[in-house]
A and B are shown apart, each in its own frame.
Chain A
Amino acid sequence: KAGVTQTPRYLIKTRGQQVTLSCSPISGHRSVSWYQQTPGQGLQFLFEYFSETQRNKGNFPGRFSGRQFSNSRSEMNVSTLELGDSALYLCASSLEGLRGTEAFFGQGTRLTVV
């Protein structure tokens, strides 16, 4: 079956703009979580959505937001982009959520803010 699909793979944006990233989970998976990967901070949890509801949130400013649709596809939005938002953004899908089940990752969206 198809894996986790993230689009687009690469993005270049200018400071102050906003951006929307998309994640399609594995069919049947209801949980989608998002992570930011940077060389300095490593992999950091952004938030998790389950059945269209945000269940958990990491320590990121309100400029980072997300949502999940009824088909479990999720989008992440970053407003008023800053240079420090340049990163690889990964999403992961899991069947029922992050407690005790496996999470499968997409290939990521590499965002560059100039």
Chain B
Amino acid sequence: GDSVTQMEGPVTLSEEAFLTINCTYTATGYPSLFWYVQYPGEGLQLLLKATKADDKGSNKGFEATYRKETTSFHLEKGSVQVSDSAVYFCALMEDKIIFGKGTRLHILP
């Protein structure tokens, strides 16, 4: 069945560092791909999305490109801030949403 694998955390970075969180997927069809972010005590917020191969999703300085050839959707940000500290979930959507396990990100000032 469909699945999403993302890098284990926690990831700890200093402010202004470059961020990459790896995400790969397996799917039988042509899913849409998403990154969601969860702040402490909150639900999930959609960070960015891509609906077809080679699409690039971007929001708040974060980017991810839908790579069908490598079945990947890695999340990147050029310069992280303390306020980016949260849990990040990679997800695919076909007839239901399949989430990765989540990556906890700590940004140190």
Is B44 a contact partner of A105 (Cβ separation < 8 A)? yes
Which residues of chain A are near B94, meaning CB under 8 Å? 98-99
Count chain A residues whose beta carbon lies closer than 8 angstroms to a beta carbon of B.
Answer: 24
Is B96 a contact partner of A98 (Cβ separation < 8 A)? yes
**What number of residue pairs across chains A and B have CB atoms under 8 A from each other?**
56
Q: Does A104 interact with chain B (Cβ within 8 Å)?
A: yes
Is A42 a contact partner of B46 (Cβ separation < 8 A)? no
Other 5 A-B pairs with CB < 8 A, given A90-B44, A98-B93, A98-B96: A43-B89, A43-B99, A99-B94, A106-B43, A108-B43
The main secondary structure of chain B at its interface with chain A is strand
User: Which residue of chain A is the closest to B93 with respect to CB atoms?
Assistant: A98
Give the Cβ gap from A107 to chain B, nearest Cβ, in Å. Answer: 4
Q: Does B20 interact with chain A (Cβ within 8 Å)?
A: no
Give Cα distance in the complex from A14 to B21, angstroms. Answer: 39
With A33-B96, A98-B96, A100-B93 already in contact, the answer to whether A90 and B101 are too (CB < 8 A) is no
Q: Does B7 interact with chain A (Cβ within 8 Å)?
A: no
Q: Does A113 interact with chain B (Cβ within 8 Å)?
A: no
Which residues of chain B are near A104, meaning CB under 8 Å? 46
Give Cα distance in the complex from A33 to B94, angstroms. Answer: 13
User: Which residue of chain B is the closest to A41 with respect to CB atoms?
Assistant: B101
Q: Does A103 interact with chain B (Cβ within 8 Å)?
A: yes
Give Cα distance in the complex from A99 to B95, angstroms. Answer: 6
Which residues of chain B are near A35, meaning CB under 8 Å? 97, 99
Is A105 a contact partner of B93 (Cβ separation < 8 A)? no
What string of 1s and 0s marks CB contacts (under 8 Å) between B56-94 and chain A?
000000000000000000000000000000000100011
Give Cα distance in the complex from A33 to B89, angstroms. Answer: 17
Q: Does B51 interact with chain A (Cβ within 8 Å)?
A: yes
Give the Cβ gap from B40 to chain A, nearest Cβ, in Å. Answer: 12
Is A45 a contact partner of B97 (Cβ separation < 8 A)? yes
Instruction: List 6 A-B residue pairs with CB atoms under 8 Å apart, sorted by A's residue number.
Output: A33-B97, A90-B44, A98-B95, A99-B93, A102-B34, A105-B45
